[in-house]
Amino acid sequence: MKDSKLIKQLGVLTWRELNSFGDFVHSPFFNKHKETSLFLELLKDRFGRWDSLSKEDVFKAIYPGEKYKEHAVNNLMFNLSDLFKQFLGQKIYADKKERQVDIIEGLLSKKTWKAAVGELKKELKKNEQNGELNSDYFFHRYKLNRFNDEISNMFQKDIDSDHIQRALYDFETWFLIEKMKIICDLQDRMVIYNHKYDLGVFESLLEYIEERWEYYSKIPTVNLYYHIIRTYLDLDREQQYYRLVEILHENRERIKREELERLYNFAINLGIVLVNQDRIKYSKSVFNLYSLLVEDGFHLENGEMSHMMYKNLIVLACFIGEFEWARKFMDDNKNLLNPEIRKNVYNFNLAYLYSLQEQYQEALVLLSKLDFENVFYQINAKVLQLKIFYELKEYEVILSFIDSFKSYLTRNKKVSSGRIKLSLNFLLFMKKLVLVLHSKETMGRHDFEKKLLNIKDELIQTDRAVIGKDWIMEKVGEMLQSSGD
């Protein structure tokens, strides 16, 4: 019985939630089957020990003295599983605004006008006090204004156009927010998966918002989704993204947490695209965005922090020179990482920090201790080792390491073809640079600079994606400058 669907379903409940479910099951409005109620009480009594509970045990407890019938227990399990689904639905319904809307609609259908007006006033006041201007807020207010219009038409000779006009505005705003959410999601996927989608009449939608900007700019969710879409459409307009981060910072306390998390994810994914395009322009803004996300508690999922978020924050902090912040963040959040990879992830990121602080030997020691099964980290650790060997001018070591790295890439079945190409392209240009430096003493200054410029031109003109392309360009530039001095 421990592997049954029912036990797996109920296994997600805390003791408190199981008690709430018990209240639901014992309510005659939802369940009139006495044996199902007894079954739940048995499960509550054996809470934490369900693994040892058999179907025979259940039958004996519910039907004492009777001959065992498995189908009777199966029926109990089916009934309780069905009630569990109803319980979850009822719980969500009870927490949502639709419940109050249904109450008002029920009162109006029975023509109990006074009671309906009283409930309507209370709900309008409650909605305004809530202050979270998301799509749910506007859709709820749209329904309330429709009720107001219905009541006004019932008791007034002149049609009160104010309520119906407000209802139209609210419905329109709800539609715009929901439409823009989907567009942001599709734009996100278009970049990540390189897939084309038909975005519908979104350009007309943006023009419509711009024509009424005085109104829509005051609604944080509309303003934010608008800026995300506009930035995706024109990735060269950096001020658009800077403004997006500012608006998010200014309004994050006014936005519902579920909506806020979605906006953070869209804005950060967009930021990563921009950082890959121009690290100098966008790293500070994306770092600030990540910092807000951590401050608002969205960096944790089930009490753990994603190793990629941990790494991204450290890399961004280091890029903008916040080394002390990076080390403190690294140490403070180490225990939030998954225990199975915690030590390796921490050592890798500390090695990265040490390499930037020119503590090369310390970094190499940490990298030698890594024991990753994760291909992403295996490759990144090898790339970091190569960069450190370069800074130490260990050119012979680099050439040997490149050969072993190539063998690793071609033999490892876990590495995707795309990742192999990215890495091989890096090794190609790294080898070209090192061979030029290795033979510097045997050539004149003119030939040396010419070969470096050839590498630079090839990097600029290549259509191939290259890991660490900016780093190689930087090193070529340093060599050209030192040669000219």
Q: What is the pLDDT of residues 460-471, one digit of tens each?
A: 898 887 888 889
* Whole-number Å distance between alpha carbons of 5 and 78: 9
Q: Identify the weakest region by mean pLDDT among 123-127, 166-170, 185-189, 327-331.
A: 123-127
**Mean of the per-residue pLDDT values for the chain?**
87
For the segment 56-68, what is each residue's pLDDT rounded down to a tens digit? 888 888 888 888 8
**pLDDT for 429:** 93
pLDDT confidence tier of residue 158, bands split at 50, 70 and 90: low
Query: Which tokens go with 195?
Result: 């897939």
Query: Which tokens go with 305?
Result: 């922090």
Concatenating the DSSP letter of every residue in 36-55 gives HHHHHHHHHHTTT-GGG--H
> Distance of alpha carbon 280 from its chain centroid, rounded?
24
Three-state SS letters, the chain: CCCCHHHHHHCCCCHHHHHHHHHHHHCCCCCCCHHHHHHHHHHHHCCCCHHHCCHHHHHHHHCCCCCCCHHHHHHHHHHHHHHHHHHHHHHHHHHCCHHHHHHHHHHHHCCCHHHHHHHHHHHHHHHHHHCCCCHHHHHHHHHHHHHHHHHHHHHCCCCCHHHHHHHHHHHHHHHHHHHHHHHHHHHHHHHHHCCCCCCCCHHHHHHHHHHCHHHHCCCHHHHHHHHHHHHHHCCCCHHHHHHHHHHHHHHHHHCCHHHHHHHHHHHHHHHHHHHHHCHHHHHHHHHHHHHHHHHCCCCEECCEECHHHHHHHHHHHHHCCCHHHHHHHHHHCHHHCCCCCHHHHHHHHHHHHHHHCCCHHHHHHHHHCCCCCCHHHHHHHHHHHHHHHHHCCCHHHHHHHHHHHHHHHHHCCCCCHHHHHHHHHHHHHHHHHHHHHHCHHHCCHHHHHHHHHHHHHHHHHCCCCCCCHHHHHHHHHHHHHHHHC
Q: Using the predicted structure, report yes or no on whether residue 440 has a pLDDT greater than 70.
A: yes
pLDDT confidence tier of residue 424, bands split at 50, 70 and 90: very high
pLDDT > 90 in the chain, percent: 36
- The C-alpha angle 82, 85, 89, rounded to 5 degrees, equals 140
* Whole-number Å distance between alpha carbons of 476 and 473: 5
**pLDDT for 161:** 60
Query: Which tokens go with 61?
Result: 């407890």
For the segment 88-99, what is each residue's pLDDT rounded down to a tens digit? 777 765 555 677
Averaged pLDDT, 110-138: 79
> Distance of alpha carbon 96 from its chain centroid, rounded?
24
* Whole-number Å distance between alpha carbons of 49 and 52: 6
> Residue 26: CB partners within 8 Å, gap ≥ 6?
37, 40
Query: Which tokens go with 345?
Result: 């992830």
Averaged pLDDT, 409-420: 83
Q: Is the dihedral of CA 289, 291, 296, 302 positive or negative?
A: positive
- Residue that has been written with the tokens 């390499």 in this structure: 355
Query: Which tokens go with 174?
Result: 């709800």
> Distance of alpha carbon 423 from its chain centroid, rounded?
27
Averaged pLDDT, 353-381: 92
Provide φ and ψ at 300, rounded to 5°: -110, 140
* Whole-number Å distance between alpha carbons of 236 and 331: 36
